């Protein structure tokens, strides 16, 4: 692979900052003013999350376009067996925007409650009502005694948050409002933030269930409104995605529930630390498990490392924490050229420092702007692209393509092993690619 020495002269790159210069979200620049496809909006995050919850109805308040696309998404999801189509919409006409829609929305909520009888209604405001500033939270409070369903409100003003994750975060946090005090049951835990089906297939689940622990609920991947109400009966919350941290903190404040942050880490050290904390909180002796599992994972990863060592990569849109994921690939001897990220989160400074310690200083761009990035591929000639991209584009250029969505449900040491295996297989397969279609959907 030809070494690129002068990235500063590449189109758009001059806008970007180097990793060593990045400390806040404002340091994440776009490669171009014109964006394609652009990030998803928080309303999409709500749909991703709420469509997994049984007995919940979502009421979108916004334009016909927002409602149409979201409904389309949940209908597709239900048809594919991946979620429920539980979306209703109140479409704001010009008159509603000018004169207010409060009374009509009130009627709509009463209608949903009376006709469909859901356990809970999630009222979702979008950009337009957030600009006009109608207070739907007050309407929900005023209807509390008039409806059987529990009511919660989520705001999804996209112009204040540039991606879909705040929609997930706020949906999860809003569900705290329907939880009720419970008698705590020993040996039971909640999984918070796991958005993938099949929690039973994860290493974490196997570790817990083998030691007699019961999963009270997995929010949002395996739950109902009734189970959410009873969530405080678990002895501990395990947060497997940072979007559930506000919910865990809220539950800690309201119900005194402790939580352990067990993110989808790729780093073996961080996974070991998370397991150790889990063991301490649950009075489990996990030392032997951690030791043997880590050794086994290290051995497996080392086996893949010789294929990956020295390969350069571009890190795109993936379900992992961007800098943590990029740090893992860098630790395998790979060289990051550009890292795409949607924000700079708490602890990202740690992951960034790990990358820089390898003597590399990649460019950092805002995520989900593939069009100008594609112009750089022939010049940068990365060995690998990690994230959502058009497989045909990458195959034509001989770039290995790694999409992590299929393994993002994994939790524990199994995850970095699966990542390394996937990456090694992608490198080996690059000579004979088998494209599987364009992926833009973030999970």
Partner 1 sequence: MSLYKYLPPPSDRMGVLWALASIKGACVLEYGPAGTTHYGIESYGKLNMDLDASLFTTDIDEDEVIMGDSGRLGNTLLELDRRNEFSHIFVVASSVSSIIGTDIFAICQEVQPNCRARLHCFTGGGLKGSYSLGVKEVLTTLARDVVAPVPDGARDMGYYNILGSNADCYNYASDIAEVERMMEGCFGLKRHAVFTAQSSMEAITSASRSGYNLVLRAEGLPAAKLLKERFGQEYYYGVPYGYQGTQNWLRGVANKFGLVVNAPYVEREAKRQKDHLLRWRFSRRAGAPLTAALAGNYDLVVNLARFLGQELSIKPVAAFVNHGRGSEPVLEDPAEEGLVKFALSEGEKEAQLNATRPDIVLADGLLLKMHQPGRVRLQVSHPNLSQILLTSHLPLVGFNGAGYLLEKIMNSLQ
Spatial distance between the Cα atoms of 137 and 139, rounded to a whole number of angstroms? 5
SS3 23: coil
Q: Phi and psi for 71 in degrees, rounded to 5? A: -60, -45
Kindly tell me which of 62 and 362 has the beta carbon lying closer to partner 1: 62
Question: Closest separation between CB of residue 93 and partner 1, Å?
Answer: 6
14 binds partner 1 (CB under 8 A): no
Phi, psi of 191 (to 5 degrees): -100, 120
Binding-site string for partner 1 from residue 327 to residue 366, where x marks contact by CB under 8 A and - marks none = ----------------------------------------
Q: Which two tokens stand for residue 304?
A: 């893949």
Stretch that binds partner 1, among 84-92, 189-197, 303-311, 426-434 (CB under 8 A): 84-92
- What are the structure tokens assigned to 137, written together? 């939270």
322 binds partner 1 (CB under 8 A): no
- Burial of residue 115 (CB within 10 Å: 0-12, 13-18, 19+) is exposed
The Cα–Cα gap between 280 and 291 comes to 16
Q: CB 35 → partner 1: shortest distance, Å?
A: 5
Q: Are strands 363-366 and 17-18 parallel, antiparallel or unpaired?
A: antiparallel
Answer for the pair 213, 238: CB distance below 8 angstroms, yes or no: no
In the complex, minimum distance from the CB of residue 62 to partner 1, in angstroms, rounded to a whole number: 8
Task: Decide: is 9 part of the binding site for partner 1 (CB under 8 A).
Answer: no
Residues 148-187, one symbol each (x = binds partner 1 by CB under 8 A, - = not), give ----------xxx-xxx-----------------------
Binding mask 115-144 for partner 1 (x = CB under 8 A): ------------xx--xx------------
380 near partner 1, rule: CB under 8 A: no
Q: Identify which of 387, 417, 398 has the alpha carbon closest to the alpha carbon of residue 314.
A: 387
**Closest distance of CB 404 from partner 1, Å:** 19
| Cβ–Cβ < 8 Å for 228, 201 | no
Closer CB to partner 1, 65 or 306, in the complex: 65
Q: Are 196 and 408 in contact (CB under 8 A)?
A: yes
Position 379 contacts partner 1 (CB under 8 A): no
Does residue 371 bind partner 1 (CB under 8 A)? yes
User: Is residue 367 within 8 Å of 36, Cβ to Cβ?
Assistant: no
Gap between the Cα atoms of 137 and 22, Å rounded: 37
Strand partners, 59: 88, 123
73 binds partner 1 (CB under 8 A): yes
Decide if 266 contacts 419 (C-beta within 8 A): yes
Query: Which span (38-46, 189-197, 211-219, 384-392) binds partner 1, by CB under 8 A?
Result: 38-46
Among 66, 217, 364, 420, binds partner 1 (CB under 8 A): 66
What does each C-alpha distance from 91 to 62, 103, 126, 129, 290 come to in angstroms? Answer: 5, 13, 11, 11, 53
Of positions 25, 68, 148, 214, contacts partner 1 by CB under 8 A: 68
Given 13, 41, 123, 419, the residue binding partner 1 (CB under 8 A): 41
Return the number of the residue (282 or 368) whose C-beta is nearest partner 1. Answer: 368
Residues that bind partner 1 (CB under 8 A): 32-44, 63-73, 75, 79, 88-94, 96-97, 104, 107-108, 111-112, 127-128, 131-132, 158-160, 162-164, 368, 371, 440-441
């Amino acid at each position: 692979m030809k070494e690129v020495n002068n990235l500063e002269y590449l189109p758009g790159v001059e806008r970007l900052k180097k990793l060593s210069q990045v400390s806040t979200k404002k340091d994440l620049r776009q490669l171009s003013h014109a964006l394609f496809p652009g990030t998803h909006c928080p309303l999409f995050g709500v749909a991703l999350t709420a469509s997994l919850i049984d007995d919940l109805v979502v009421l979108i308040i916004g334009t016909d376009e927002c409602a149409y696309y979201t409904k389309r998404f949940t209908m597709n999801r239900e048809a594919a067996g991946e979620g429920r189509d539980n979306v209703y919409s109140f479409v704001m006409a010009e008159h509603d925007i000018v004169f207010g829609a409060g009374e009509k929305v009130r009627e709509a909520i009463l209608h949903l409650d009376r006709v469909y009888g859901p356990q809970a209604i999630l009222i979702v405001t979008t950009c337009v009502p957030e600009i006009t500033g109608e207070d739907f939270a007050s309407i929900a409070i005023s209807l509390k005694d008039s409806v059987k369903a529990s009511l919660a409100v989520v705001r999804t003003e996209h112009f204040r948050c540039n991606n879909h994750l705040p929609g997930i975060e706020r949906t999860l946090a809003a569900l705290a409002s329907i939880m009720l005090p419970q008698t705590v049951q020993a040996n039971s835990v909640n999984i918070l933030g796991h958005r993938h089906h099949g929690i039973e297939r994860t290493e974490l689940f196997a570790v817990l269930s083998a030691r007699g622990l019961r999963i009270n609920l997995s929010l949002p991947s395996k739950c109902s409104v009734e189970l959410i109400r009873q969530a405080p009966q678990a002895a501990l919350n395990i947060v497997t995605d940072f979007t559930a941290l506000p919910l865990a903190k809220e539950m800690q404040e309201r119900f005194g529930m402790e939580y352990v942050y067990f993110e989808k880490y790729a780093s073996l050290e961080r996974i070991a630390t998370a397991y150790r904390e889990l063991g301490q909180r649950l009075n489990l002796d996990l030392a032997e498990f951690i030791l043997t599992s880590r050794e086994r994972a290290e051995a497996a990863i080392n086996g893949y490392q010789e294929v990956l060592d020295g390969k350069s990569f571009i890190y795109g849109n993936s379900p992992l924490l961007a800098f943590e994921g990029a740090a893992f690939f860098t630790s395998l001897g790979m060289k990051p050229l550009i890292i795409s990220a949607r924000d700079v989160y708490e602890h990202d400074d740690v992951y960034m420092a790990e990358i820089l310690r390898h003597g590399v200083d990649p460019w950092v761009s805002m995520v989900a702007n593939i069009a100008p990035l594609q112009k750089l591929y022939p010049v940068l000639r990365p060995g690998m692209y990690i994230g959502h991209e058009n497989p045909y584009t990458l195959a034509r250029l001989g770039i290995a393509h790694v999409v992590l969505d299929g393994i993002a449900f994994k939790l524990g040491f199994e995850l970095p092993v699966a990542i390394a295996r996937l990456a090694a297989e992608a490198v080996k397969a690059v000579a004979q690619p088998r494209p599987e279609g364009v992926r833009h959907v973030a999970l």
